[in-house]
Each structure stands twice: as C-alpha cells, then as structure tokens.
Chain A
Amino acid sequence: MTTTPVRQTVTVTVNGQEYTREVPTYRTLVDFIRYDLGLTGTKEACSVGVCGACTIELDGRIAASCITLAVRADGANITTIEGVADGDTLHPVQEAFINYGGFQCGACTPGQIMAAKALLEHNSSPSEAEIKEWMMGNLCRCTGYYQIIESIQAAAEAK
C-alpha cells in the first residue's frame, strides 16, 4: 500500500494560458481545473459523466471533465466557461441565455453554454430536434429546458 500519492507533472493550455502543476495521478480534470487552477466556473454534479455540468472543450471537442484524468490531459488545449467571453464582450450564446432566461439556479449553466457553443460551431442553424438530441446530455434540475432551447435558437439566429 503506497502512502505517498504518485505525483506527475501536467502542463495544459487553458483559455489560451499555459499552466504547469504537479498533481496526484488520480486527480480528475474537473478537480484540477477547479482546485489546482482556481477556475471554478466548471461545476461537478453527478461525477459519472452523465449530467453535463462539468462539460469543457478538450482539444476542440466537448468532454466530461469529471471522468477524465488530469494526467490524461497533459499537453491538451482546453477551453472552460471562463474562456468563452471575449473580455467584457459576452459570447452570443451567453447573451442569449441571459435574454431568454436560459438558466434558473445556474449550476448547470456553464456546462449548458459549453455544449450549446459546441453545437452551433458544428451546426450553425440546428432544428429544435437537433438541439434536443445534442443537449440531452446536459441536465437541468430546475427543468428550464424550453428556455434553454429558445436561448440556443436565438443565439443561432443572432450569429
């Protein structure tokens, strides 16, 4: 039984800035982002890759950071919710979520926005069915789903 955790160095680029930290090999990426880097916009809820709260962009594709090891992300290019706005200018998806009430308690919102942004980058004018299929992996316990769909439709029209 090892008493001292095995630690390894992880270097990642998050929202354009490079970070290097030494962490236990068992550190999940969501914990690394929140506690080692202090970027607490990304949330952890279900911890098993189902709810979507921890959604980040990992090398250009959305992924669940709660079931990704930080050491597995060594060398990766990551975008989190903190990197979505351009300075003080919000991303169109963020603007739409505000204007159309796409959030209630807000716990799922960073993940919803990361997923919605990825959808619009992949499909600039999704149908309602396509929005529902893509977003089904992002749960909202406040059940504000229709406002989320309206927000995404509005963001698609605004682009």
Chain B
Amino acid sequence: MHDFTFHAPDSLSAVLDLLAEHDGDAKLLAGGTSLTTLLKQSLIAPDHIVSLHRVPGLDSIEVSNGELRIGGLTTQRDMERSSVVKEHAPLLAEAYRRVATVRIRNVATVGGGIAQADPAMDPPPSLLILGASVVATSTRGERVIPISEVYADYYETTLESDEIVTELRVPAQPSGAGWTYIKYLPRTEDDYATVSVAAIGSVEGGSIADIRVALGAVAPTAVRASVVEEALAGQAPTLDALREASQAVADIVDPTDDPRGSAWYKRDMSVVFTRRALEQVLGVS
C-alpha cells in the first residue's frame, strides 16, 4: 500500500485547516470502509489522510422545521435504527438498512457514503426523490447543495477537495403516501444491487397526485426518472398506464456490463422493477 501521513485531528476546524493546507493531496477518512479498500487496491494514493474518528459531534439526528438534519458522521447503522428517521422518512431508514452487512453499516457514515458517490450504493435513489441536500463545509464557509447536484459521475461529486459533508438535510416523507425501495439482487443479499428503484406515490380522487421514482446502479449516478413522473402525474393509476410509463426508463439508464449483469439485462430489469415499484406505491395490481 502507498505511504501516507495519517492525521487524527480532534476538532472540525482542525480538519478544515488540514484540508486547506494539503489542498488536493489529502483524503478524508470516516468509517473507512470504502477509502481503505481503494487504498489497498492502489486506486488512490494521497500523501495525507485526515481521519475523522476523534472529531466530536456531527453524528446527531434531529428534526427542524419538518426536515431531518443528520450529522455527516452519523453511522449508516444509526440511520437504519433511528426512530426519528423511521418516523419522518421510513424510505430512508429502509435504504440504509439494505447497505452491505451490519459490520459495514456499524462504521460507514452518511457523509462518507455521499462523498464516495458509488452509483450502486443503496441510499442515493431515495435521497434524490426525498429532495435531500448536503451541507458542505470548508475554511471558506458553508454551502448547501441539492443532492441532485452533488453526484457528478462514477465516484465523482461536485464537492471541492477542501470540503467536508457536515450535514445531510432531508425533507420529511409525505405521510400517507406509498413508498418502496426495491433492491434487485441475483447473487447474495449483501451485494450491490443489479438494479435498484426507490419510489413514493399517492392517489387522490382516482388520479395520481404525487409520484417520484429514481434508479440506482444503472448509470454513472443514481437517476431520477422524471420522464416517468411527468407521464403519470394526473393520470388514472391503471396497470396499462404504469406499464407504458415504465418503458421510458430504458432511454434514461446507461448501465455497464459487469458481473452483476450485462448492460441489456440491466436495462430490461430497470423497466421491470420500475413498473413493480409503481404498482406497489400506487396500490395497483
């Protein structure tokens, strides 16, 4: 493994100073489940690693003005188990519950997962349809970025190299609406999805009032299926309507061939699992 200097600062301000000092040549380490793997495989070779394990705080889950405010160092296990998350955004608790194994979720953090930006991770589709945003902090100050503008490409974000994800903000899920997170796994339960779909939907007066859909693992970033949402808004929730609208995701996904499936298979399964997710959240069968 590559040689590096390991820093373990005990305050956020010391973290920000180190990032500014070693701009572009320092990587943050939170739970380390992704970063250590990249280091071991020599896919990254920073001269400085700034560990966050001594930084106090940044791990609380609170509700403010109907919005969840989640510290960047909150573990994914705490997201899965939090009664506050289960109450205000059960979809999000379920998405984090499906990440890898308990051993990984015990240490992997919310902020670390966002910064890693692996498009096959479980939370991104749910974060997209819940309209989440990220607070990025540096010595230059704070900025709030919609999650849809954070994910840029495979493992790439619009976060600057001197910024740290200090908070995730998630508007409460509409109560009474249907919701689902489908993780399609042909191999083992702890694997990354071949295709994943998160959806929220409700029907009022016989027509579709609210419908939101996003997919994971089938493009360089998680993708919002706006084309499906626009086709269905205001329509009667019939099986034919859902089947026809789902076809449109074939054109917005851009999967790759890998051991979890060929590109054409993932494209076909994107359509199938989008339709199933729509059926579930709108109560159509």
- Where the two chains meet, the residues of A that have a C-beta atom closer than 8 Å to any C-beta of B are 2, 5-6, 8, 24-26, 28, 47-50, 52, 55, 58, 61-64, 67-69, 71-72, 74, 115, 118, 133-134, 136-137
Query: Would B2 and A26 count as touching, CB distance under 8 A?
Result: yes
Task: Name A27's closest neighbour in chain B (CB-CB).
Answer: B1
CB atoms of A26 and B3 under 8 A apart:
yes
Interface-side segment among B97-105, B139-147, B161-169: B97-105
Chain A contact residues: helix, strand, loop or mixed:
mixed
- B190 CB to nearest A CB, Å: 5
Task: Say yes or no: is B8 at the interface (Cβ < 8 Å to chain A).
Answer: yes
Q: Report Cα–Cα, A69/B190, bound state, in Å.
A: 23
Q: Does B252 contact A (CB under 8 A)?
A: no
Give the shortest distance, in Å, between A57 (CB) and chain B (any CB): 10
The CA of A36 and the CA of B119, in the complex, are separated in Å by 37
Is B64 in the interface zone, CB < 8 Å from A? no
Say which one of B34-42, B221-229, B243-251 lies at the interface with A: B34-42
A133 to chain B, nearest CB (A): 8
A50: contacting residue among B77, B106, B190, CB under 8 A: B190
Known: A25-B49, A72-B8. 14 other contacts (CB 8 A): A24-B3, A25-B3, A26-B39, A28-B36, A49-B37, A52-B101, A58-B107, A62-B102, A68-B107, A71-B6, A72-B32, A136-B190, A137-B100, A137-B102
Name 18 A/B residue pairs within 8 A (Cβ), A-sorted.
A2-B3, A5-B3, A25-B5, A26-B2, A26-B4, A26-B39, A28-B36, A49-B103, A52-B101, A61-B106, A63-B103, A63-B107, A64-B103, A67-B37, A69-B29, A69-B49, A137-B103, A137-B104
A123 nearest CB across to chain B (Å): 11
B101 and A6: CB pair below 8 A?
Answer: no
CB of B189 within 8 A of chain A?
Answer: yes
Tell me the number of A-to-B contacts counted with CB atoms below 8 Å.
Answer: 83
Contact of A62 with B190 at beta-carbon distance under 8 Å, contacts A26-B1, A28-B36, A69-B32 already known? no
Complex Cα distance, B100 from A61, in Å, reads: 16
Decide: B40 and A72 in contact? CB cutoff 8 A. Answer: no
CA distance in complex: A1, B201 (Å):
55
Q: In this assembly, does B116 line the interface, its C-beta being within 8 Å of a C-beta of chain A?
A: no
With beta carbons under 8 angstroms apart, the residue of B29, B33, B53 that contacts A49 is: B33
Q: Closest CB-CB distance, A145 to chain B, in whole Å?
A: 12
Q: Is the CB of B106 within 8 A of A63?
A: yes
Q: Quick check: is B188 within 8 A (CB to CB) of the other chain?
A: yes
Interface assignment of B51: CB less than 8 Å from any CB of chain A: yes
Report Cα–Cα, A143/B39, bound state, in Å: 31
A61 touches B40 (CB 8 A): no
- Find out whether the CB atom of A136 lies under 8 angstroms from the CB atom of B101: yes
B39 CB contacts on chain A under 8 angstroms? 26
Contacts A5-B3, A6-B3, A74-B8; A61 near B107 (Cβ below 8 A): yes
Interface string of B47-85 (1 = CB under 8 A from A): 001010100000000000000000000000100000000
Given A26-B39, A52-B101, A71-B8, check contact A64 B3 (CB 8 Å).
Answer: no
Task: Tell me the minimal C-beta distance from A38 to chain B in angstroms.
Answer: 22
A55 in contact with B103 (CB, 8 Å): yes
Contacting residues, chain A, for B100 (C-beta < 8 A): 49, 137
Question: How many angstroms from the CA of A30 to the CA of B190 in the assembled complex?
Answer: 22
Contact B29 A72 (CB under 8 A): yes
Q: Is the CB of B36 within 8 A of A69?
A: yes
In the bound complex, how far is the Cα of B51 from the Cα of A118, in angstroms?
Answer: 26
The contact of B33 among A24, A67, A115, by CB within 8 Å, is: A67
Which 3 residue pairs of A and B lie closest in terms of their CB atoms, listed nearest first? A137-B101, A26-B1, A61-B106
Residues 253-274 of chain B, each 1 if its beta carbon lies under 8 Å from chain A, else 0: 0000000000000000000000
The smallest beta-carbon distance between A72 and chain B, in angstroms, is 6
Complex-state Cα separation, A118 to B101, whole angstroms: 13
Most chain A CB within a 10 A radius of its CB, from B33, B101, B106, B190 = B101
Given contacts A25-B6, A26-B2, A61-B77, contact A47 B101 (CB under 8 A): no
Q: Is the CB of B107 within 8 A of A8?
A: no
